[in-house]
A and B are shown apart, each in its own frame.
Chain A
Amino acid sequence: MKANVKGIGWVTSGGMGYGRNSDRFSMDYAILPRLTRAMVFEKPNRNFGRMDEYSRLGLAAVSQALKDAGLHEWNEKRNIGVIASTVFGCLHTDIEYYETVMPQDGILASPNLFAYTLPSSFLGEIALCYGLTGTSYIVNEQTHTGLDGLKIAMECIACQDAESMLAGVCDLGSPELLGMEERILPGAVFLVVEKIKEVEPTEYGQLTMDHNGDIRLNDKEVGDLKSLVQMCLYNLNAGK
């Protein structure tokens, strides 16, 4: 199973960026930037203001990836899907919502917050914003490599469900209130992967997946999504 990497975008503690813009990519446990509409969109976006933080994070990273792949502008809806891995999903929003439920027997429960208490809600925002009608859903993996979404996206391309897919991770990190021990790198990172149309790989490289689900980039083994992005960016810079 093969696919080309066509674009990469991210929002991490190191900032927001995309590959061909020569932005520096780093991912650690530091605090994520607080996203505003103006950072993500040049023009007004009526939905951004009402979104929860998790949705803003995912949408911003996808926006960067689409920009990198030259797919951010559109006139007609497109058969592109989004498969995103997450560990904590929208738990921060769940907490925020539940705190509106507890007083006064739920009379003050917020309908706007409830709409974002599904980890997949932001995929709807992405679909709406960029006219994407393809297969889109969330996977919660136990291995925490961040690669399960990419594997599914590659399968979608192999099965001719779509020619281009977005795949990546989106996590705000563990909510403090729950006192969980799980440590996950906060941030959102998305790749645009596409069906191979030309013999030569793109500047980022060519992905292959074997029968066991192991992923390689230009024949080099890939351990997790963060290292995959680093390998892609290395290839891009080496080719300049």
Chain B
Amino acid sequence: MNPVWIVDASTVTAFGDNLGQLWQGLMEGRTMVRPVQRFPVKGYHSNSAALIEDLVSSGNQSLIHTMVERVFEKSEKIPVDSYLITATAKSGIDNMEKLYKAGSADTRDILLSALPGIITQKFGLKREGINISAACASSTVALARAAGLIAAGMAESVAVCSLDFITEFVFSGFSALKVMSRGPSRPFDKERSGLSLGDGAVYILLMSSKRAKKENRSHLGSVIGWGIANDAAHITSPAKDGSGLILAVNKSLETAGIKHDSISAINAHGTGTVYNDLMELTAVNSIFRGRNVPVHSIKGAIGHTLGAAGGIEVAIGLKALEEQVIPPTTGFKHPEKGAAGLVSSKPKEISGNYLLTTNSGFGGINVALVLQRDTGV
């Protein structure tokens, strides 16, 4: 397998338009979950989310265009020969709402293929990209596919871009499902009551090590393992025994060629819903068999950014490996059964080269990635 390097990463979240601001906010244990002003929330189960305050669309365009401009603002251009894989759960749905409310909108933006189209055009890429839709694991799947293409020698450079933003359509749905927390979410806390939503965008450029060295690119870290599996248990609830997640993690460790005891930390999906967090703790405790591997979630701080969540968490995972510390789990106070000794409300030092990051979503999907830090070898 060809080594897969991550050579560029940028994020846009409620903390700001760069990864440094996001990292600082997470390390300080702050939450950006605030009362929502973007649309009326009177009839909903919650009134808060981690939204980007100055996010506005232009004319008939979807917010996709604004998010794309912002996530690429401080990045180098995507090499024109790159494969492009985008990932989103519901971007463009703002234009369907606009069509109902204002009577006009650019309907091309409503299709999920709009995102790769906009980026292909922006950078003049030689081949047309695809969008991957896999619920809240969309960007994690995109990264797994990107890594697979490079590892197999089918691509030298793959750009992954993922974004989702919160509209009334999305907010009302999670409210109707009664899975939203009234205040900021509290992943892995025994008093957690649901998730908080958030806006997010992420761009990650992956290259073969050979190409990256040739172009003198930075080596932020590597993707060495990936695994995808379905629970085959329920449409909106996770498998209680964590069987799908366990399968995905085992696949990722197998691809990576490492044992579970090499993993130094886990970036969990950690939505703050009762069933998701319980399922994840069951899976983690089953895989790591009593070993207290540090686990954290960033969703109490920036909300659940849906399809973009996994990509943002990979960017944070690389930073954690570099700094050898994982951020606190914002909102976590009293451990759920099985979380004691694993999850912390304070930053936790780690020691090692490998971090596991996982996401799960509606439809029973589970994805796991193994990241390796740049050891200078």
User: Which residues of A pack against B, CB within 8 Å?
Assistant: 47, 77, 81, 87-89, 91, 94-95, 97-98, 101-102, 104-107, 109-111, 114-115, 117-125, 127-128, 130-143, 148, 152, 155, 158-159, 161, 177-180, 182, 211
Contact = CB atoms under 8 A, between A and B. Distances in A.
A47 B229 CA distance: 21
A114 B235 CA distance: 12
B141 A137 contact: yes
Contacts of B55: none
B89 interface: yes
B363 interface: yes
B133 A89 contact: yes
B268 to A, nearest CB: 21
B160 interface: no
B117 A142 contact: yes
13 contacts: A105-B42, A106-B43, A114-B177, A117-B90, A117-B169, A118-B135, A118-B362, A119-B133, A124-B363, A124-B365, A127-B230, A133-B231, A137-B228
A32 B110 CA distance: 23
Contacts of A114: 172-174, 176-177
Contacts of A102: 100
B94 to A, nearest CB: 11
A104 B172 CA distance: 12
Contact of A140 (B113, B120, B233): B113
Contacts of A110: 176
Contacts of A155: 148-149, 152, 154
Interface of B: 40, 42-44, 89-90, 93, 96-97, 99-100, 107-108, 110-113, 116-117, 120, 128-135, 138, 141, 145, 148-149, 152, 154, 168-169, 172-178, 228-236, 244, 247, 251, 361-365
B363 to A, nearest CB: 3
B43 A136 contact: no
A46 B141 CA distance: 30
Contacts of A211: 154
B360 to A, nearest CB: 11
Contacts of A158: 152
Contact of A136 (B99, B108, B230): B230
- A104, A106, A122, A179 — which one has the most chain B CB atoms within 10 A of its CB? A106
B89 A118 contact: yes
- B93, B112, B365 — which one has the most chain A CB atoms within 10 A of its CB? B112
Given A124-B365, A211-B154, 20 more contacts: A97-B169, A106-B168, A106-B176, A109-B175, A111-B178, A115-B177, A121-B235, A124-B362, A125-B363, A128-B233, A128-B364, A136-B365, A139-B133, A140-B112, A155-B148, A155-B152, A159-B148, A161-B251, A178-B107, A180-B107
A88 B111 contact: yes
A106 B235 contact: no
Contacts of B145: 152
B43 A104 contact: yes
Main secondary structure of the interface of A (DSSP, over half): mixed
* 10 cross-chain pairs, A with B, having the tightest CB-CB distances, nearest first: A124-B363, A105-B43, A114-B173, A137-B134, A140-B131, A140-B112, A109-B176, A138-B133, A111-B176, A127-B232
A94 B113 contact: no
A142 B174 CA distance: 30
A109 B173 CA distance: 7
Contacts of B228: 81, 134-137, 161
A98 B90 CA distance: 13
A94 B363 contact: no
B169 A132 contact: no
B128 A142 contact: yes
Nearest to B129: A142
A88 B112 CA distance: 8
A113 B230 CA distance: 22
B105 to A, nearest CB: 9
B128 A106 contact: no
Contacts of A178: 96, 99, 107, 110
B362 A121 contact: yes
A128 B128 CA distance: 33
A35 B127 CA distance: 38
Contacts of A152: 145
Contacts of A134: 228-230
Contacts of B129: 142
